[in-house]
Amino acid sequence: MQNTVYVLNGPNLNLLGLREPEIYGHTTLDEIAGMLEDEARKHGLTIDMRQTNHEGMLVDWLHEAQAEGARAVLLNAAAYTHTSIALLDAIKAITTPVIEVHLSDPNTRETFRHVSYVGMAAAKTVEGHGADSYRIALETVASGEV
Instruction: Assign residue 93 the CATH number of its domain.
Output: 3.40.50.9100
Q: Of all helices (H) and strands (E), which one includes residue 93?
A: helix 85-93
Q: Do 90 and 63 form a contact (C-beta atoms < 8 A)?
A: yes
Q: Is the pTM of this model over 0.75?
A: yes
Q: Do 79 and 102 form a contact (C-beta atoms < 8 A)?
A: no
**What is the per-residue pLDDT across 66-105, written as a single tens digit (0 to 9) for each?**
999 999 999 999 999 999 999 999 999 999 999 999 997 8
Amino acid at 109: R
Q: Which of 24, 80, 117, 134 does the annotation list as catalytic?
A: 24
Catalytic site includes residue 80: no
In whole angstroms, what is the distance from residue 13 CA to residue 28 CA? 9
Q: Which of 6, 80, 102, 117 does the annotation list as catalytic?
A: 102
Range of the domain at 41: 4-142
| Domains contained in the chain, number | 1
Q: What number is the average pLDDT over the span 22-48?
A: 91
Catalytic site includes residue 63: no
**What is the per-residue pLDDT across 44-61, written as a single tens digit (0 to 9) for each?**
999 999 999 999 999 999
In whole angstroms, what is the distance from residue 25 CA to residue 16 CA? 8
Angle at 60 between CA 36 and CA 28, to 5 degrees: 30
Q: pLDDT band for position 106 (50/70/90)?
A: confident
In whole angstroms, what is the distance from residue 75 CA to residue 54 CA? 14
In whole angstroms, what is the distance from residue 7 CA to residue 76 CA? 8
The candidate with the shortest Cα–Cα distance to 104, out of 139, 138, 140, 131, is: 131
Percent with pLDDT over 70 in the chain: 92
pLDDT at position 105 is 80
pLDDT at position 104 is 79
Q: What number is the average pLDDT over the span 24-39?
A: 91
Residue-wise DSSP of 27-85: --HHHHHHHHHHHHHHTT-EEEEEE-S-HHHHHHHHHHHHHTT-SEEEEE-GGGGGT-H
Q: What is the mean pLDDT of the chain?
A: 92
